[in-house]
Structure 1
Amino acid sequence: MLLVKETFWLWQFLGRLHPLLVHFPVGLLCVALLLEVIGWYRKSTEWRAGITAILWIGTISSVVAASLGLLLVNQEEYGGDTVTIHQWSGLATVLLAISTVVALRSGRMALYRSFLFLTVFGVSLAGHYGALLTHGDDYLTSVLPINSQSEPLIAGTTNFEFIRANQPITDKQVEELNLEVRSILAHNCYSCHSATKTKGELRLDKKELVMKGGKDGVVLIAGHPEKSELIRRIKLPASDKEAMPTKGKRLTDKEIALLEFWIQQGAPWPSGTEKSIYRVATLAPRLPVIPAATTDLLNPIDRFVNVYFQKNKLPWKTVVDDRIYLRRVYLDVIGLLPTPQKIQAFTTDTRPDKRETLVKELLANKEGYAQHWLTFWNDALRNDYTGTGYVTNGRFDMTKWLYRSLKTNKPYDQFVRELISPTKESEGFIRGIQWRGTINSSQRTEMQAAQNVSQVLLGLNLKCASCHDSFISDWKLSDAYGFANVFADSTLEINRCDKPTGKKATSRILFTELGTINGKAATKERLRELAQFMTQPKDGRLYRTLVNRIWAQLMGRGIVEPVDVMDNEPWSQDLLDWLASDFATNGYDIKRLMYAILTSRTYQLPSIGIKDAELITAPTFVFAGMVRRRLTAEQFSDAVSTVFTPIYADTAIVSKLLPKNIQKEIAFPRASLVKNDPFLTALGRPNRETVSTSRMSQANLLQALELTNGTTFNAALKTGAQKWKLTYSSPDLLVKDLYWKALGREPRPQELAVAKKIVGKNLSIDGIQDLVWAITLHPEFQLIY
């Protein structure tokens, strides 16, 4: 039985002193800067003793506050980007404050004042994100004029302008209103007032129970929000003991206004069977009719996209030129840049089918394909060569099986069956990671298997439901444990929020219409049954999830986004359904699927640049072509290696877990086959202790620092520069060769002049290194256009 240690009360108490020790003492650092500025302006030192005292108090307080903050974040349920930024900006402030004191004591006044200014900036940044944690993300912006009542009352699928129209609302508007209201209740009230927890005998998850009220009486009077206890409670100040909700963020004015309007309309609720408040995608496959072909649109993909373009009034743009297409396909299929010779041959080729021929040639490159796509599947199956679990033999490598499966283009249904009902070589995925030390129930290996199989293969999130009934979907705690029990050697006891319930799980598949698992059978037999059930042609979700992932890898954005939430609305349901059905009908052949996409006119459209990453997953996204994306860590490393010099020059560092015959196929150590390091981490390779089905394409500060001062990158460039100096006799030859290899073109006259000046007439090693560094940071090199 899993033991869960209770947190010692003293650590919780001390952690909660964090805000008390922050707001005033650390704020003294701002006062110190103000006094320093005044003293500097007045050319006076009369406040020096006071400033020094204030500085010491603020610095010591920052150390104590940061320490207690670390206690607090580890004892309370904090998470997300906001707390991460708050935490690291707070720690940075501590270091800056200490540096300020040291600089002052050493008498280096210019350095001291610079550090003091940066310290106050750190205090402000940490304080701002601390405020967002306690008061909500709109703490500052909610009072700005742009967020006045001229905006929609609530952010959702509808602007709800009909609320202000003061007119009867249609059935469609009632449905939209009810969906939003139940979403508000689910995210703010169900944690205390649902089937799993019913405080005050009040439940808000079913119509009759909402109307019934709780032990203190009715909470909602249809038609009268002003008389409804529900509205009174959510409007009370947070300090009031009757205020609701008692924990978490308070409801916004927009959410309260919408609830009031809903009650005023009679609190409508779907009659009959309870309707999910979440969209649930159809499980069964569907084969839509392919739209009619046109003179220049014969590929079925283009014909579906043409219907979409017509609906959204989008024109077909001219396809990209040969050079861009060649580079794009090379990087997408084998992960490498084309050679200058291949570029020149392809661009001068006059055959009308040369693009189709190129794709066939690249897909036939078994080794290149396997070495590139190994990265994608390593991320998804959390297969790595080192890390948590390997030290204690609590994790199992599956590189040999995976490489062989990719090289032979194993049919996807067989691929999935061997993952779920595994051989010794493929068991690493469902065996999970045996973490060192005490873990919570939702991280036990059987639950990891359930979570990972559902996420990677079915595109659904089971992690919330592994702890309690999900607040973001209809999946229940019993569903998660029932699925996890399929992978267990002994019957699991259901734990809710890490506390045993005394109930035993029963083995069952998530989608029961696919089949019934024999709970009395041995684990191996249960896994065989599960593998057979999940790979049936009628499991349309399995194949929609796969084709959506491949589309996202090649096009920069899935037909459904995020790719792990397949219940979301696709931008083209017909295209998704047809791709999945065609994939299943034609032997579950991933390369055939890729060929169809890569040779479509849709793939050949100019790429689209998106500045804000959130727009990619926004429900308002409109597809207009491939989303421009950055080279992955592995692609970047391999590109530098083929263009200039191998970043990983020592073949001994290639994973020893690969068979020797496979190692012989490797011309140079591909980055997909080397162990993770700070260089690859900075460029975006995940640690693979959790499933990672997509990577952020946007550049970040860590990447900039690594490419500027990183040891691995700079050492490789220096080694390469020394070799290039010995190889080339003139600046012209060196620069032109570098441009052809890196960017696939001649340098422009101005570029050539600048580059020659950088490398110098005598080809300086430092100059060559600087030029290569500049080109590798060029958008033409870093991005897939």
Structure 2
Amino acid sequence: MTILTESFWLWQFLGRLHPLIVHFPVGLLCIALLLEAVGWFRKSTDMQAGIRAMVWIGAISSVIAAALGLLLVNQDDYGGSTVTIHQWLGLVTMVLAIGTVLALRSGRLELYRGLLIVTVVGVSLAGHYGVMLTHGDDYLSSVLPVGKGGSSNPVSGNSQFVFASATTGQPLTDKQIGDLNLEVRSILAHNCYSCHSATKTKGELRLDKKEFIMKGGEDGEILVAGHPEKSDIIRRIKLPAGNDDAMPTKGKRLSDHDIALLEFWIQQGAPWPNGAEKSIYRVADLEPRMPALPDAPAGITNPIDRFVNVYFQQHKLAWKNVVDNRTYMRRVYLDVVGLLPSPEKLKAFEADPRPDKRELLVKELLGRNVDYAQHWLTFWNDALRNDYTGTGYITGGRFDITNWLYTSLKTNKPYNQFVRELVSPTKQSAGFIKGIKWRGTINSSQRTEMQAAQNVSQVLLGLNLKCASCHDSFISDWKLADAYAFANIFADTTLEINRCDKPTGKLAGTRIIFEKLGTINGKATTNERLKELANFLVQPKDGRLYRTVVNRIWAQVMGRGIIEPVDMMDNEPWSQDLLDWLASDFATNGYDIKKLMFTILTSRTYQLPSVGLKDADLITSPNFVFQGMVRRRLTAEQFADAVSLAFSPIYVDTSIVEKQFPKQLKEEMPFPRASLVKNDPFLTALGRPNRETVSTSRSSQANLLQALELTNGEKFNDALKRGAQQWKATYPTPDALVKNLYWKALGRGPKPNELVIAQKIVGKNPTTEGIQDLVWAISLHPEFQLIY
């Protein structure tokens, strides 16, 4: 459609009829509702014929208006959230109008009137957003008394910006110039770079560098230093949307604050800091840093707690009491080995009088190497996109690293060596950087060398290169040339740079993504380059590598990273000192992940009560305030293993493991662990990704697919049925059966009211169906599904 609208005048002409045609459904449907209300009030049907005609014409014209709107949005430079909302409201209104007609035809009067009301509301909202597109966001509000706050003149005596010297007539300091310039360039980056940068230069105008801004474009200079009123850039951004000269041509209009700030900048002479330009995006330090341990009150000795204590003081938060022994034991079991503790272990732990029993428990669990490896295999399979079946395995275009990964986890391989073997691989570990050789023609940004660059940067460095693999990134300073130069390290032949899948004729260089770490020899063989890269990445001075893995482990056991999202390590951490200390301590202790986990799991911080978040978006909110572990749902594998251990094995066919794994993977395995089996509809519904791409986090939110699988899924129900039969044979009386079920599943006995209800469910003489119903109810209980 886009191609047609750019090349054929008729589509352009029809598209521009949209604003004309769209007034038909707006007017007719509103009048139809008004007449319907009058008729209902008068209890008269005299106007029904006219109303019926208006509804039909309004519905038909809404379809035409929607079609023409789709033509218009493709031919003109519309974009941003306003046009998206307008577009979807228009389509929804069209559907509602059609529904209104159908209800009218069928004679369902109440449904028809209800739909007509909703349709008029929808068409009014769509019209409102259409007006905002053509006349500006403040078209209505600007004439209201509350909307006349007026955009203050930024060059007047009472400047709204935080540059105190400007209000006294004094020149700006170097720091103020730098801060002002950073804000100005941020406005230009988010509103103008899509059309006026090195990637795309409309009207021969670039706004990404000082010299280009001062030079102007094909129409001449765009600003006159000291005179915003004479500057063309100010004139254009103040024009109403729809004007041929208005800028930006697509997306949201600049806010009053942004316009005022640009005016203020030009009034000050459009100052620019001397020397290199500071990035408009936050860039985290590369080097490691070991902050001093802060003082702490009595009873707080763990280094993590000392940093968190400072954080709590800054946010006026008080320490809460730690969780009870049962909650802690279940939590730490699931985090370290992915299994539920047995009732016997729970009772013994609660009765243990030793003051250091929690530390001893963590040591014991970290020493269960097989269980630890089988549990953490899930996390690393997701991150390293390693799986046992799927795209590429049949054609030989993909290689698994399962044996290498399992052995590395079981032996607790130091992380620097772990990374070295992934980047400069042995035959067993080569699958990570080999990528997937897709069948047929693919986008150039998905060739295997670029996949390797993207995956290494994302997983090991917390850096997103996917945007920069097609074009210069709009969310960071990374350029297309940077991504290709990094990908060239993994390539057997020199890569040609493709921009948005189109060859540029330019050959890529060869260099590491952070050049401070070292210089890659572009003339060396591929294996030699990979060895150089691996050695550069694992250097102690690469603080980013170790901050990234520390943040990932923290997020895995605490429900939320110190930095979120975990793949964006340039974001602001909620505690920079804590992150830096953990990373430096990790390196000092031999890059030992289990030692890192011991420090976290024995901290008072980890033992705080879990915190529930009502909105999943709060996880990544920049306003997030840390108060303790974020409550989270069991992963697909944890849930399957919990059901297997508490009730009956989900997977009973050991051959599914034997075909995929060497014999040592079945060590000490009472049932096939879910981390070791191929993906299936049950695990997919519960959140296991397909692993064709890197997956470094899973949603902890329940969804409809999970509900359907846990209600009607064959594999789950078969397991519960088998388990019910076994439990019936073992515990013939309802009292013993219910109590043992509760202890196995929830680590406690049933409460009196729970016991009464459960006994009614299973019956005086327990039946298979009754036991199955009870087990199903317990498995859906929040206390079973969540890590508290």
Same fold (TM over 0.5): yes
| Residue number in structure 1 paired with 2:156 | none
What secondary structure, in the 3-state scheme, does the structure 2 residue paired with 1:736 have? helix
Distance, in Å, in 1 between the alignment partners of 2:145 and 2:640 is 45
- How far apart are the structure 1 equivalents of 2:409 and 2:90? 43
Residue equivalent to 2:456: 453
Distance in 1 (alpha carbons) for counterparts of 2:474 and 2:230 = 29
The match for 1:476 is 479
TM-superposed CA distance for 1:357, in Å, is 0.8
Is 1:641 paired with 2:649? no
Cα distance per residue 1:180-204 (max 9 Å; x no partner)? 3211211221222223333333222
Tell me whether 1:601 sits opposite 2:596 in the alignment: no
Quote the offset at 1:776 in angstroms.
Answer: 2.4
Q: Is the 2:86–2:130 Cα contact (8 Å) retained in structure 1?
A: no
Bigger drift between 416-425 and 251-260 goes to: 251-260
CA contact (8 A) 2:633 2:785 kept: yes
Other-structure match for 2:155: none
After TM superposition, give the deviation of residue 149 of structure 1 in Å: 8.6
Alpha-carbon displacement from aligned partner over 1:57-88 (angstroms, at most 9, x marks no partner): 96999899899989x99xx99999x9899999
1:223, CA displacement in angstroms? 3.8
Counterpart CA distance in 2 for 1:130 and 1:658 is 61
Q: Secondary structure at the match of 1:216?
A: coil
Q: Does 1:675 align with 2:678?
A: yes
Against the structure 1 CA distance between its residues 45 and 355, is the aligned structure 2 distance closer, same or farther, given a 3 Å change threshold? Answer: farther
Counterpart check, 1:390 vs 2:393: yes
> Counterpart of 1:724?
727
Q: CA deviation at 1:439?
A: 1.8
Letter in structure 2 aligned against 1:299: N
Higher Cα radius of gyration = 2
- State the partner residue of 1:465: 468
Any residues of structure 2 matched to 1:105-504 within 5 Å, and which?
162=161, 167=167, 175-292=178-295, 294-504=297-507
Indicate if the aligned counterparts of 1:86 and 1:130 stay in contact, CA closer than 8 A. no
Amino acid at match of 1:466: S
Q: 2:556 aligns with which of 553, 558, 569?
A: 553
What is the CA–CA distance in structure 2 between the aligned matches of 1:488 and 1:139, rounded to whole Å?
49
TM score, norm. by length of structure 2: 0.84
Give, as a single letter, the amino acid of the residue that structure 2 aligns with 1:500: P
Equivalent position SS for 1:494? strand
Residue correspondences, number = 768
Q: Is the 8 A contact 1:15 1:68 kept in 2?
A: no
Residues 385 and 432 in structure 2, CA contact (< 8 A), matched pair in contact too: yes
TM-aligned CA distance change 1:597 to 1:62, over 3 Å: farther
Distance 1:592 1:164, change over 3 A: closer
Instruction: Give the TM-score of the pair, scaled to structure 1.
Output: 0.84
Deviation at 1:547, TM superposition (A): 0.6
Shift of 1:627: 1.5
Q: Report the AA paired with residue 481 of structure 1.
A: Y
User: What is the CA-CA distance between 1:779 and the residue it aligns to?
Assistant: 2.1
C-alpha distance in 1, partners of 2:118/2:658? 45
Instruction: Give the C-alpha shift of residue 612 in structure 1.
Output: 2.1
Q: Is the 2:55–2:101 Cα contact (8 Å) retained in structure 1? A: no
Q: In 2, Cα distance between the equivalents of 1:345 and 1:631?
A: 25
* In structure 2, C-alpha distance between the alignment counterparts of 1:680 and 1:69, rounded to whole Å: 39
Q: In structure 1, what is the Cα distance between the partners aligned to 2:145 and 2:452?
A: 46
The separation in 2 between residues aligned to 1:477 and 1:693, in whole angstroms, is: 24
After superposition, the Cα gap between the structure-2 partners of 1:445 and 1:45, relative to the gap in structure 1 and judged at 3 Å, is: farther
Single out whichever of 637-646 and 754-763 deviates more from structure 2: 754-763
1:12–1:124 distance in 2 versus 1, CA, 3 Å: farther
Deviation at 1:28, TM superposition (A): 13
User: Distance in 2 between the 1:375 and 1:196 partners?
Assistant: 40
Q: In the alignment, does 2:588 pair up with 1:585?
A: yes
Q: 1:521 to 1:63 in 2, by over 3 A?
A: farther
1:546-594: CA deviation from partner (whole Å, max 9, x where unpaired): 1111111111111122211111222222221221112112221111110
Distance of 2:217 and 2:437 partners within structure 1? 44
Residue 736 of structure 1 corresponds to 739
Q: 1:533 aligns with which of 532, 536, 548?
A: 536
1:544 aligns with 2:542: no
Asked if 1 retains the 8 angstrom alpha-carbon contact of 2:373 and 2:410, the reply is: yes
Given residue 683 of structure 1, which amino acid in structure 2 is its aligned partner? L
1:573 aligns with 2:576: yes
Which residue, out of 655, 662, 666, partners 1:663?
Answer: 666
Q: Please report how far the alpha carbon of residue 269 of structure 1 lies from its aligned counterpart in structure 2 after TM superposition.
A: 3.0
Map Cα deviations across residues 284-310 of structure 1 (whole Å, 9 max, x no partner): 212222234653122222222223223
Partner Cα separation in structure 2 for residue 126 and residue 45 of structure 1? 26
> Which amino acid is the alignment partner of residue 552 of structure 1?
A
Distance 1:18 1:327, change over 3 A: farther
Structure 1 residues 251 and 550: CA distance shift in structure 2, 3 A = same
Aligned position for 1:685: 688
CA contact (8 A) 2:32 2:55 kept: no
Runs of 5+ unmatched residues, structure 2: 153-158
> Please, which runs of 5 or more residues in structure 1 have no aligned partner?
1-5, 154-159
- Checking the alignment, whether the CA contact within 8 Å between 1:83 and 1:129 is kept in structure 2 is no
CA contact (8 A) 1:468 1:496 kept: yes
Q: Which amino acid aligns with 2:474?
A: F
Please tell me whether the aligned partners of residues 440 and 498 of structure 1 are also in contact (alpha carbons under 8 angstroms).
Answer: yes
In 1, Cα distance between equivalents of 2:53 and 2:357 = 74
Which deviates the most, 253-262 or 669-678?
Answer: 253-262
For the Cα contact (< 8 Å) 1:278–1:474, is it kept in 2? yes
Cα distance 1:246–1:36, how it changes in 2: closer, same or farther (>3 A)?
closer
Residues 530, 173 of structure 1: CA spacing in aligned structure 2 closer, same or farther, 3 A cutoff?
Answer: same
Question: Is the 1:33–1:116 contact (alpha carbons within 8 Å) kept by the matching residues of 2?
Answer: no
Match of 1:773 in 2: 776
State the distance in 2 between where 1:293 and 1:747 align. 41
CA distance in 2, matches of 1:707, 1:88: 35
Structure 2 letter corresponding to 1:259: L
- SS in structure 1 at match of 2:694: coil
Q: 1:212 to 1:501 in 2, by over 3 A?
A: same
Which SS does the other structure have where 1:479 is aligned?
helix
TM-aligned CA deviation for residue 717 of structure 1: 3.0
Asked if structure 1 preserves the Cα contact closer than 8 Å seen for 2:331 and 2:787, the reply is yes
Whether the 8 Å contact between 2:650 and 2:716 is mirrored in structure 1 is yes
CA distance in 2, matches of 1:50, 1:716: 59
- Mark the CA change 1:597 to 1:650 in structure 2 (over 3 Å): closer, same or farther: same
The verdict on how the C-alpha distance between 1:695 and 1:87 changes in structure 2, with shifts beyond 3 A counting, is farther
Match of 1:514 among 514, 517, 521: 517
Q: Distance in 2 between matches of 1:715 and 1:330?
A: 27
| Structure 1 residue aligned with 2:763 | 760
